[in-house]
């Protein structure tokens, strides 16, 4: 059995369904861990950039742009590599994308609403 096959082997209790679902190996997991060391290095690098950007005293807009940009880059590194979404079937990252709509609703409809909107739930619900 090759290394790839070893890495993708499912637990024995799942063998009962393996004949039916013989395409269930979820991802060709990378065989070496060195790539993850590099990902960690990039995450540290971006954290340092993040802190240095703050110490530069940019304007509000520039600071927010830098911080959000770096946060989303770090999010991508962690999700794609550490959480294996890069190697998982599309269902995994499609599922992970579901809350984006609701988060947009939260941030746009509540986070940026008129003053007092979050103070009184009856205002939000309209009754």
Of 20 and 126, the one with the shorter C-beta distance to another protein is: 20
C-alpha 112/C-alpha 117 separation (Å) is 9
**In the range 10-39, which residues lie near another protein by CB under 8 A?**
10-14, 16-17, 20-21, 23-24, 26, 29, 33, 36-37, 39
In whole angstroms, how close is the CB of 17 to another protein at the nearest point?
5
Residue linked to tokens 């590194």: 77
Question: According to the binding rule CB under 8 A, does residue 110 interact with another protein?
Answer: yes
Residue linked to tokens 């999010």: 75
Q: Which of 2, 61, 98, 126 binds another protein (CB under 8 A)?
A: 98
Give the per-residue contact string, 34-73, with another protein (x = CB under 8 A; - = no).
Answer: --xx-xx--xx--x--xx--xx-x-----xx--xx-xx--
**Helix (H/G/I), strand (E/B), else coil: 23:** coil
- How distant, in Å, are the alpha carbons of 30, 49, 63, 78 from that of 72? 24, 14, 14, 10
Of 33 and 126, the one with the shorter C-beta distance to another protein is: 33
State the alpha helices, DSSP H only, in the chain.
3-8, 34-55, 60-77, 90-97, 99-104, 121-125
- How distant, in Å, are the alpha carbons of 5, 9, 117 from that of 125? 54, 50, 10
Residue linked to tokens 């790839």: 4
Give residues in contact with another protein (CB under 8 A).
Answer: 6-7, 9-14, 16-17, 20-21, 23-24, 26, 29, 33, 36-37, 39-40, 43-44, 47, 50-51, 54-55, 57, 63-64, 67-68, 70-71, 74-75, 78-79, 82-84, 88-92, 95-96, 98-99, 102-103, 106-107, 110-113, 115, 117-118, 120-122
């Amino acid at each position: 059995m090759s290394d790839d096959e070893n890495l993708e082997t499912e637990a024995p209790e799942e063998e009962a369904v393996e004949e039916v679902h013989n395409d269930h190996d979820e991802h060709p997991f990378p065989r070496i861990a060195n790539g993850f060391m590099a990902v960690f290095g990039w995450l540290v690098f971006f954290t340092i950039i993040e802190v240095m950007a703050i110490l530069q005293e940019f304007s509000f807009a520039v600071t927010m742009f830098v911080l959000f940009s770096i946060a989303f880059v770090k999010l991508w590194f962690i999700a794609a590599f550490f959480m294996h979404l890069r190697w998982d079937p599309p269902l995994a990252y499609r599922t992970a994308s579901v809350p984006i709509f609701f988060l947009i609703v939260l941030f746009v409809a509540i986070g940026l609403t008129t003053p007092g909107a979050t103070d009184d739930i009856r205002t939000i619900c309209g009754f």
